[in-house]
Amino acid sequence: MMALTMEQQNTHYELSYLLAETLDEEGAMRVAGSLRDAIEQTRAVIVEDGLPKKRVIAYPIRKQSQAHFGWIRFMTQPEAILKIERAIKKETEVLRSGLVKILPETRKGMRVRRTPQVAVTKEKQEEIAAIDKRLEEILGEKTAVKTAQDINHESR
């Protein structure tokens, strides 16, 4: 039987949250930190997060028209979600939160995209060498022209 990697054992989740507008920036960061801690205490691995930023919200929540919006993407065992939800509910400054499972086909877009390596043919290498040579000729002519102008300028 093949052993599963950590990513195969864990499920990806995203927690989005709105914090009370009465919090200052430092207070919002403190609450966001406690949410991160609650997630990490369940042995979850945080993949990435968005720090809370104050925004106008579409409709008032608890008579507040603005809130600090933040999010955290993480991997954990499905059994840990209940503990995370309980920890979120204990935070009185959290106006609203949403915890969603990220499906594998959605995760593909989250990965860092690397530029594919293109094989350079011999013809392409020769073309690049010819362009480099022509650039050196052009730049050399400009340098020579500048040098001649400098000499004329100095003799005046």
Whose structure tokens read 């915890």?
99
- CATH for 6-110? 3.30.70.60
| Span 41-53, pLDDT tens digits | 999 999 999 999 9
Q: How many CA atoms lie within 13 A of 115 on its CB side?
A: 3
| Span 3-35, pLDDT tens digits | 445 555 788 999 999 999 999 999 999 999 999
- The answer to whether the CB of 88 falls within 8 A of the CB of 38 is yes
Domain ranges of the chain: 6-110, 117-156
Give the C-alpha separation, 134 to 155, whole Å. 32
Give me the pLDDT at residue 138, please: 83
The pair of three-digit structure tokens given for residue 62, joined into one six-digit string: 């608890």
- The answer to whether the CB of 74 falls within 8 A of the CB of 15 is yes
| Span 34-89, pLDDT tens digits | 999 999 999 999 999 999 999 999 999 999 999 999 999 999 999 999 999 999 99
Q: Is the pTM of this model over 0.95?
A: no
- The answer to whether the CB of 97 falls within 8 A of the CB of 16 is yes
Give the C-alpha separation, 87 to 71, whole Å. 15
Give the C-alpha separation, 80 to 83, whole Å. 5
